């Protein structure tokens, strides 16, 4: 029995018609089948999953033709809430599907939206935590979870919704080996229960025994479809030809490194690293050396063990609570480490600021060229920021206005988008130097705040960091800055209040409780 039928599906994004587009996709997916979508990055796997779950065309703008049938019913005839009862999705970036700030609330959120009974919600939530082996994550803040823990929570939240079809977009991207095995066992169970599984994935070996078919995509088209037995017989040469990883587990041969006289060394001594009051790494000692040819060091461990945190400390993005890092015998501050190291984030979106590859490269080159020229000015800016926090500058409030947010710690996505337009406006208004100063403050302020306030959860510029600068460039009087701020947020504030009233006091952001006395509303005509 066909669960999903795709006929001549084509889609092009309005913003980038040639990127991740789909051309003439035809595919039948049977009930209870596990289908793997694979292929090189950018081949259209994620776009296809977005078509299946209704995000295209409801949330991503573009041109869509062809049809998708769910049990014979065109998907475009179903409302999004109806489709969500049938198809659950685990996104590649789990943060993009979170709505709550508490782990238990997040797992329950989907069930609540599907209007499950309280008893069923509690049963499904308990089962989800148990199946994913994440009982230890109950009633935790989402902001204190590692990337792998967030991924496991995302899978649990979809499992709790008990949909007939589950779509997973690269579900193992952030998972350790043990958790991948847990996920594998969960998928076995789901398949035995008759669930239909559609998985977009680069790693293939863990899916042996689960997958029924492998759908190979290239440049937006389906080029090959292999059955499980046929795929298992594909030679390493054939897999390399298609740009695919091995379907069987492979042990990489060890390679002996010739003896050498290493010229450089990095030493970590007695490092203790905290997020707030929670100790993440305790008394870590680490030492490695490298020569002119360089060296690759792998940091491995279970999700939540501190790999990313340790990497941030090594790169100077965080400061340890205690202990020290020495480079070639010299004790390094995290400010000095920032100048010596580079950090590629797990989610690259967090470190990209412009809309094109060329502009991103130009921005990086411009920053690198100006680094030495403006070193002294940078020290001046840092000193002023320190004075601000110490209450010795500006209004004495001890704040750097525009830095920090109750929810966003790594970055405010609104600020990231806004900044790209601010830069364009600054160029048009010949205010490049002013923009460069704002950019410098945005980069330096989190470092200074971490040093001064020992805040290690992460601090970033919020959406209003650049607002005053934009108002000024547009010639708007200073007296109107605050009214514009308020007017722009009336709709959002009103929406949150409506949420609060209709959802029994819950809003989709950190909750607050009014401490004022209740007052009856008096109509304007009676005042």
Q: Any idea which fold 264-292+301-343 has?
A: Rossmann fold (3.40.50)
Domain residue ranges in the chain: 2-241, 264-292+301-343, 351-475
Residue range 351-475, CATH number = 1.10.230.10
User: Other CB atoms closer than 10 Å to residue 405's CB: what's the count?
Assistant: 18
**Distance (Å, rounded) from C-alpha 149 to C-alpha 182?**
13
**Distance (Å, rounded) from C-alpha 112 to C-alpha 100?**
12
pLDDT at 16 over 70: yes
135, two tokens? 């009982």
Report the range out of 116-120, 269-273, 352-356, 398-402 with the highest average pLDDT: 116-120
Model confidence at 134, pLDDT cuts 50, 70, 90, reads confident
Over residues 71-75, the mean pLDDT reads: 88
User: Could you tell me what percent of the chain has a pLDDT over 90?
Assistant: 17
The number of C-alpha atoms within 13 Å of 28 and in the hemisphere containing its C-beta is 4
Tell me: the pLDDT tens digits for 223-278? 999 998 888 888 888 888 888 877 766 554 555 555 555 678 888 888 888 876 77
Residue range 2-241, CATH number = 3.40.50.300
Instruction: Note the pLDDT of residue 20.
Output: 75
pTM of the model: 0.58
**Distance (Å, rounded) from C-alpha 219 to C-alpha 43?**
5
Instruction: Bin 56: left if φ > 0, else alpha if -120 < ψ < 50, else beta.
Output: beta
Instruction: Note the pLDDT of residue 372.
Output: 47
pLDDT at 197 over 90: yes
Instruction: Note the pLDDT of residue 366.
Output: 62
Instruction: Note the pLDDT of residue 406.
Output: 65
261, two tokens? 């006289």
Q: Do domains 264-292+301-343 and 351-475 have the same CATH topology?
A: no
Instruction: Note the pLDDT of residue 167.
Output: 92
Q: Which residues pair with 286 in a beta bridge?
A: 268
**Distance (Å, rounded) from C-alpha 201 to C-alpha 147?**
17
Report the range out of 87-96, 190-199, 247-256 with the highest average pLDDT: 190-199
Model confidence at 486, pLDDT cuts 50, 70, 90, reads confident
Instruction: Note the pLDDT of residue 65.
Output: 93
pLDDT at 491 over 80: yes
User: Which backbone phi and psi does 311 adopt, to 5 degrees?
Assistant: -60, -40
Mean pLDDT over the full length of the chain: 82
**Distance (Å, rounded) from C-alpha 260 to C-alpha 289?**
10
């Amino acid at each position: 029995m066909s669960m999903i039928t795709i006929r001549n599906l084509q889609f092009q994004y309005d913003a980038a018609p040639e990127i991740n587009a789909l051309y003439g996709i035809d595919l039948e997916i049977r009930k209870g089948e596990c289908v793997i979508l694979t292929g090189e990055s950018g081949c259209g796997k994620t776009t296809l999953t977005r078509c299946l779950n209704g995000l295209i065309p409801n949330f991503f703008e573009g041109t869509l033709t062809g049809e998708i049938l769910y049990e014979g019913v065109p998907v475009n005839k179903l409302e999004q809430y109806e489709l969500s009862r049938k198809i659950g999705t685990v996104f590649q970036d789990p943060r993009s599907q979170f709505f709550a700030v508490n782990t238990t609330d997040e797992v329950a959120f989907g069930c609540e939206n599907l209007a499950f009974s309280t008893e069923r919600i509690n049963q499904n939530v308990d089962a989800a935590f148990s199946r994913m082996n994440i009982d230890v994550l109950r009633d935790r803040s989402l902001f204190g979870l590692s990337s792998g823990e967030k991924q496991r929570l995302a899978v649990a939240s979809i499992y709790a919704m008990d949909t007939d079809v589950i779509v997973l977009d690269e579900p193992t991207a952030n998972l350790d080996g043990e958790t991948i095995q847990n996920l594998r066992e969960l998928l076995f169970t789901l398949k035995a229960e008759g669930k239909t599984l559609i998985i977009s994935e680069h790693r293939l070996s863990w899916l042996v025994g689960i997958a029924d078919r492998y759908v190979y995509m290239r440049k937006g088209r389906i080029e090959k479809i292999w059955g499980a037995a046929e795929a298992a017989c594909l030679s390493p040469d054939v897999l390399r030809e298609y740009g695919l990883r091995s379907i069987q587990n492979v042990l990489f041969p060890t390679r002996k490194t010739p003896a050498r006289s290493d010229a450089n060394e990095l030493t970590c001594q007695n490092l203790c690293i905290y997020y707030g009051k929670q100790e993440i790494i305790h008394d870590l000692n680490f030492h490695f050396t490298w020569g002119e040819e360089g060296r690759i060091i792998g940091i491995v461990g279970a999700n939540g063990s501190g790999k990313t945190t340790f990497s941030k400390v090594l790169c100077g993005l965080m400061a340890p609570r205690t202990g020290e890092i020495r480079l070639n015998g010299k004790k390094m501050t995290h400010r000095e480490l920032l100048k010596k190291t580079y950090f590629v984030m797990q989610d690259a979106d967090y470190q990209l600021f412009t809309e094109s590859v060329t502009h991103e490269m130009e921005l990086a080159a411009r920053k690198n060229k100006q680094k030495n020229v403006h070193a002294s000015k940078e020290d001046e800016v840092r000193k002023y920021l320190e004075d601000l926090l110490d209450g010795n500058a500006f209004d004495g409030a001890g704040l750097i206005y525009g830095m920090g947010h109750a929810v966003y710690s790594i970055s405010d996505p609104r600020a990231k988008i806004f900044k790209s337009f601010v830069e364009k406006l600054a160029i048009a208004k010949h205010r490049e130097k002013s923009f460069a100063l704002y950019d410098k403050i945005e980069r330096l302020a989190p470092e200074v705040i971490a040093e001064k306030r020992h805040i290690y959860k992460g601090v970033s510029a919020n959406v209003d960091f650049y607002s005053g600068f934009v108002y000024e460039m547009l010639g708007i009087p200073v007296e109107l800055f605050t009214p514009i701020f308020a007017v722009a947020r009336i709709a959002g504030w009103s929406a949150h209040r409506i949420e609060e009233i209709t959802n029994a006091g819950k809003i989709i952001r950190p909750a607050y409780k009014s401490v004022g006395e209740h007052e009856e509303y008096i109509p304007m005509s009676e005042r």
